Amino acid sequence: MTIGWDAVADVDWSRLFHAYGAATDTPAQLRALTGEDAAARGHAVDHLWGAVLHQGTPWAVTAPAALVVAGLLADPATGAPIAEGEAPLRATLLHFLGRVAEAGQPELGDDELHAMAFPADVDERAVRAAWDAMLDGDCDCAYDEDCTCDDDPEADSADDEDVPEPDPDLIAKATDAIMARVVVDIRSAAAALLPPVEAAFTDGDPRVRVNAVDAASSLLALPGLRGRRGAVAAKVEQAARRAVHRDERAALVLSLGYLGDKPRGHLADPDPAVRACAALAPTLADDEAATEELLTALRRPAEADRWFTDRPPQIRAHVRFALLDAVLRRVADFERLLPAAVAIAAVTTPACADWDWGRLLAAAFPSPVTRPRRPRASPTPSAPTCARWWPTRSCGTPGAATPGWRSTRSGCRTTATPAAVWPNRRRDRLMATRRPSVTPARRDPS
């Protein structure tokens, strides 16, 4: 498979959709990435993150757009920043490709994904109807100040009066099949995306190099490419040993862990940030020295949050969130967590409930007290509706972080039943991608 514009020469963009409907505007946005208009380049980047890959969710246009973006990496125009003081555009594009790779759902096997994409109990006519409905989705209002899509909502309503209501179960199954096929397309493109990403390992800017390695580690997590991880990990290990600055060395060491390597040697690095990034490696989850390194870092959480000028791309919010996430997966004894918990309590805020203190409360009190609730004139509001779709939210209240915990003393006294306090947190496997030991992108409460 080729990359760049040649790879999409026969693509009918009007038959592809992004988060806001038909992707007819995407080719112009992609061309703007290497244009001379800085404002247009900025809007094009917004289009990538807001429409082509919306909060981690891929769409039919995502794979073709990623192939074009991969072809733009070698363009000299992407070596410059959009605005003074920012990272080169190339670094942003590589970060985008890394998130596209994550949307390829590496935890799903090929057979399982194929069964989801082509279910035996869903007629292809229903899939085509659902596809057409997605093409007619919301317009891309976020990027068009002159949008007139809602000028005559009464007329739209009148047009729909005689349309019979379709079977919601069939719509859901057809939509799931479409989204699974989107993931199939991403996996099909992954092998073509890898070479231009690897070529950026030797870029002159460390921010580009870091994002290139991160993107490669995400691509190599996909089925079909995992066999190449060893060779890439050897290159990354050499680069990490050459790296002079903390930001680059720590990010490269963190990538080693996601490449399946055991960066145990970096636990002896003189820099605590690098040691902690080595300790975050999933392959060191059972290593006592690695766990102790994380606990040591969490005893000074404010200092850990200030470690980096340019945070590793794998850590998308406060550093302490990533450290705590790994520790909670490894340590069951809260007494051992207590010094870190006390230190975190001194620096956290209500908005951080989902990421630190709410999770520590859950660890400290795994079996909430059960007792009848007193009658109330009006029921206590439950967690926001968004709670059912996202395993983490940025609603900024204790109730949003841990259903059942309230933000007032009186609310805390009326403890809910265990089923209400600690419900199973399900997620739509095709709509939200998460990596272990990292925090969701673009949801930093700070």
Mean of the per-residue pLDDT values for the chain?
Answer: 82
**Residue 199 burial (CB count, 10 A):** 13
What's the whole-number mean pLDDT along residues 108-137?
92
Query: Which position has the token pair 């290497």?
Result: 34
Question: What is the reported pLDDT for 387?
Answer: 34
Higher pLDDT, 409 or 190: 190
Q: Per-residue pLDDT tens for 292-308? A: 999 999 999 999 999 99
Checking if the pLDDT of 407 tops 80, the result is no
**pLDDT class for 437, splitting at 50, 70, 90?**
very low
Question: What is the reported pLDDT for 432?
Answer: 36
Question: What is the reported pLDDT for 83?
Answer: 87
What's the whole-number mean pLDDT along residues 438-445?
36
- The angle formed by the CA atoms of residues 188, 282 and 216, to the nearest 5 degrees, is 35
Checking if the pLDDT of 37 tops 80, the result is yes
Checking if the pLDDT of 327 tops 60, the result is yes
Q: Are 255 and 213 in contact (CB under 8 A)?
A: yes
Query: Which position has the token pair 């026969």?
Result: 10
Tell me how far apart the alpha carbons of residues 422 and 72 are, in angstroms, rounded to a whole number. 47
**pLDDT class for 372, splitting at 50, 70, 90?**
low
**pLDDT class for 221, splitting at 50, 70, 90?**
very high
Residues in the chain: 446
HSE-CB of 177 using CA atoms within 13 angstroms: 21
Tell me how far apart the alpha carbons of residues 388 and 10 are, in angstroms, rounded to a whole number. 39
Question: What is the reported pLDDT for 168?
Answer: 80
Tell me how far apart the alpha carbons of residues 53 and 46 are, in angstroms, rounded to a whole number. 10
Q: Per-residue pLDDT tens for 71-119? A: 999 999 999 999 888 999 999 999 999 999 999 999 999 999 999 999 9
What's the distance, CA 361 to chain centroid? 25
Checking if the pLDDT of 443 tops 70, the result is no
Q: Are 297 and 304 in contact (CB under 8 A)?
A: yes
What's the whole-number mean pLDDT along residues 125-153?
65
Question: Highest mean pLDDT: which of 336-350, 355-369, 386-400?
Answer: 336-350
- How many percent of the chain have pLDDT more than 70? 76
Checking if the pLDDT of 144 tops 90, the result is no
Comparing 60-64, 93-97, 347-351, 440-444, the range with the smallest average pLDDT is 440-444
Checking if the pLDDT of 65 tops 60, the result is yes
Paired sense of beta strands 21-22 and 53-54, if any: unpaired
Which residues does 243 contact at the CB level (< 8 Å), separation at least 6? 206, 249, 252
Question: What is the reported pLDDT for 220?
Answer: 97
DSSP notation for 59-79: -TTHHHHHHHHHHHTTSGGGG
Go through 103-120 and write b for each residue having 16 or more CB atoms within 10 A of its CB, e for each that does not. Answer: bbbbebeeeebeebbeee
Checking if the pLDDT of 312 tops 80, the result is yes
Question: What is the reported pLDDT for 435?
Answer: 39
This prediction has a pTM of 0.78
Q: Per-residue pLDDT tens for 252-270? A: 999 999 999 999 999 999 9
Residue ranges of alpha helices (H) inside 259-351 are 272-279, 288-298, 301-305, 319-330, 334-345
Question: What is the reported pLDDT for 388?
Answer: 27
Question: What is the reported pLDDT for 149?
Answer: 47
Question: What is the reported pLDDT for 375?
Answer: 55
